[in-house]
Structure 1
C-alpha cells in the first residue's frame, strides 16, 4: 500500500497516521517491540514513506494510550512501565474484569459461547508450538479472550478501558514476565468459559481474579531483549 502522502492533505493524512499507529501498536502489544525501544520519527517515516509530521501524530496517539513515552530533546520510546505501574495495571484489571464478567453473563448467548470456544480452540492449537511467529500468535489469542469478553459485556467504555489495559499488560509482561509458557493460562480461560456456560457468575468472577493474580505472580524484574524496528514491523 502506498502511504507516500502529504501532511497537508488532511483527508489522506488521517488514514496514514492511523495505519502507522495501528502497526506500531500491534508490534508493541505482540511484544515485537520491547519496552524502551527508540521510535525515531525519521526511521518510522522512512519505513512507511511518510513525513515525520504524520509519524509524530501516530506517536502522540500511542503516548495518550500509555504505550509510548515522549521525552523532550530525546524522542519517543516504547513505554517502560515501572514495577509500581505494573501493580497499578493489574490492580485496575482486578477492579474492572469481574464487572465485565458479570455484565457479559447477563447478555451471553449461544453464539457468544461458541465464539469463546473457538478462541479457546485456537489458543490450545497455538500452545506449545515453537517459533517466534507461533508465540506471537498465542499471545494475541490469549489477549483476544479478555477483549472478546469485554465486547460481550455491551459497555463500550469498559471495552475501551480493557483494550488499553490488555495492551499495557502486554508491555509489563514483555518487561517482567519470567515464564516461557503463556502468560494467560489456557486452562484458566477454559474454566472461566465453563462457569459462564453454567451461569455460575460468582465462580466466573472468582476465577477471573485468580487468573489475574496468576499473571501478576509470574512477573519479576528481568528484562527481555528487543529486536530491530524494521524487523518488528515486518516492513
Structure 2
C-alpha cells in the first residue's frame, strides 16, 4: 500500500470511530473503548502510527483529552509513546505473548481462589451481565468489543479478590493479551468462550475453590493453545 493509499485508509478508519448519535463532547471514558476496539478489530493495524491531531479532529475534542486517552492505553502497553515520535500501536511477538500468559496464570490462580471466599451477589451479577454482553458481541460478529469485554471479565473477577496490588498486576497483563489475541488468533475462532466465563462465575458463586481453579486453568490452557499456535504459525510464514 503506497503512502497516499495508506493515508486515505487511516482517514477512513478514523472516521468510523466517533460514537454515533452522541450529543455533546465525548469524555476520556467514551473515547478510550472506541480506540481500543478499533485496535482489537485491526482497523488500526499493529505497529501503525497516528497523530493526536487526527484523533482530536475525529472526536471533536482537544489534544489534552486525546493525550489522556493515549496515556491510559500506554499505561496498558497497548500504545507506545515516545518523545518526538507519533503514537504507535504495540505488536507483541511470540515470546512476549508466552511470557504474558505465564504471568497471567500465576496471578489468576491466586485471584480466583480469593474471589471464592465471600463473593458479593452484586459483583456476581455484574460478571454475568458482562458475560452476556460478550456473548452478544460475538453473536453480532463484533470481534474487537468481544475481546475487550473478555478482558474486562478477568479484571472484574480480580477486583472481587480484594487484593489490589495483585489485581493491578493482572491489569497490566490483560490488555496485552487482548492485543495478542487481536493480532494472532484466527478470526473464525471464538477467542475466549463466554461459556467458560459463565462456568467460572457459577463455581465462584458456589464457593467451590477447587472447581473454580480447575475451570480457570482449563480456560487459560485453551487461550494459550490458541494464541501460541496461531502466533507460531504466523511467524513461520
Whether the TM-score (by the shorter chain) exceeds 0.5 is yes
Aligned pair partner of 2:181 in 156, 170, 173? 173
Map 1:31-180 → 2, pairs under 5 A? 32-50=43-61, 52=63, 55-56=66-67, 58-71=69-82, 74-127=85-138, 129-131=139-141, 134-180=142-188
The structure, 1 or 2, with the larger RCO (C-alpha pairs under 8 Å, 6+ apart) is: 1
C-alpha deviation, 1:173, in angstroms: 0.5
* Structure 1 residue matching 2:81: 3-state secondary structure: strand
Q: 1:149 to 1:56 in 2, by over 3 A?
A: closer
Q: Is there any run of 5+ residues in structure 2 with no aligned partner, and where?
A: 1-23
Indicate conservation of the 8 Å contact 2:37/2:148, yes or no: no
Q: Is the 8 A contact 2:40 2:144 kept in 1?
A: no
CA distance in 1, matches of 2:178, 2:75: 16
Gaps of at least 5 residues in structure 1 are 4-15, 224-235
RMSD: 3.0
What SS does the aligned partner of 1:81 have? coil
What's the CA shift for 1:197?
Answer: 2.9
Aligned length: 208
Q: Does 1:213 align with 2:221?
A: yes
1:44-89 deviation line (CA, Å, top 9, x unaligned): 2332445556645543443233111235654221111121111111
Quick one: which of 159, 165, 189 aligns to 2:197? 189
TM-superposition CA deviations, 1:100-135 (whole Å, max 9, x none): 1011111213333333333334444444x244xx33
Q: 1:156 to 1:29 in 2, by over 3 A?
A: farther
Q: Is the 8 A contact 2:147 2:182 kept in 1?
A: no
Query: Residue 199 of structure 1 aligns with which residue?
Result: 207
8 A Cα contact 1:196 1:204, kept in partner: yes
Q: Does the C-alpha gap of structure 1 residues 66 and 26 become closer, same or farther in structure 2, counting only changes over 3 Å?
A: same
With normalisation by structure 1, the TM-score equals 0.72
Q: Is the Cα–Cα contact under 8 Å of residues 126 and 138 in structure 1 kept in the other structure?
A: yes
Equivalent residues of 2:28, 2:66 under 8 A apart: yes
Measured in 1, the distance between the counterparts of 2:132 and 2:64 equals: 43
Q: Give 1:204 shift.
A: 1.1
- Secondary structure class of the residue paired with 2:88: strand
Q: Deviations over 1:10-50 (max 9, x none)?
A: xxxxxx77766565345445655332121223322332445
CA separation of 1:190 and 1:2: change in aligned 2, threshold 3 A: closer
